[in-house]
Amino acid sequence: MTEATKGKITDVRELKDVARRVRIHILRMLTTAGSGHTGGSLSAADVAVAIYFSKMKFDPKDPFLKDRDRFILSKGHAAPLLYAIMAEAGYFPMETVETLRRVESPLQGHPCCKSLPGIEVSTGSLGQGLSVANGMALGLRLDKNPARVYCIMGDGETQEGQVWEAAMSAAHYKIDNLCAVVDNNELQIDGPVEKVMGIDPIHDKWEAFGWHVIDIDGHDMEEILKALAEAENVKGKPSVIIAKTTKGKGVSFFEDKVEYHGIAPSPEEYEKAVKEINNG
């Protein structure tokens, strides 16, 4: 990719194929590293791919393009997902994915903006991404910059109080160039979200905080594209997409397994998983 692109892929089948490749890249880097977060990287893949390749304006050759759209992975432990997408987009050579978590690699265990151009902000301390997204979106508005800001959060992450302070602020300042996504896979490192600290009724809570709320199947590419278009057309308030997803999506023996929140595949699991993804 040699020039800025915005919404370059609109074909659902093509986006699904990108998501397929992204899942394989994720598993490849996790298996090579022998550590990292499998479940949440796979669950958010479809939404993240749709955002990047159907909506965002960016240029791998100019990561600081003034009117680029901004993407924040607030659930920074899902860094393999972001790296896989950036590799597909051409920010760095594909073979770099095999350096995940190595000393001096730009692909650290959580995204680091000082190590890798194209990362907007270092993330991983959960609950902070939406606050940063608010600031970026407000800054763009003050500069009369048409760019948009996208922020993906985990559902367990929304147990953090800072998320709700940010939610309140975004509605107060009518930040309509911001679209948040909650990866609602219902599992976190300590178990089911509802048992650790229930967040339901999640739709009603965001709505009560003044957001435009869109509920979707986070693995249905057509629904995702429709939701992103709807969010882009909302004026006067921020939008949040509640994406119902499956932890470990795409690999049957990872799906809905809390133990794979932070466990990398073995080489044998990797081979089996790639076959399943390619045949799916």
Task: Assess whether the previous peptide bond of 111 is cis (omega < 30° from 0).
Answer: no
Show the tokens assigned to 83: 């790296």
> For the chain, which ranges sit under pLDDT 70?
1-4, 6-7
Q: What is the pTM of this model?
A: 0.96
Q: How many domains is the chain partitioned into structurally?
A: 1
pLDDT for the residue numbered 3: 55
Q: Which domain holds residue 188?
A: 5-279
**Where on the phi/psi map is residue 265: left (φ > 0), alpha (ψ -120 to 50), or beta?**
beta
Q: What is the pLDDT of residues 165-194, one digit of tens each?
A: 999 999 999 999 999 999 999 999 999 999
**What pLDDT was estimated at residue 280?**
79
CATH number assigned to the domain comprising residue 130: 3.40.50.970
pLDDT at residue number 4: 66
**pLDDT of amino acid 81:** 98
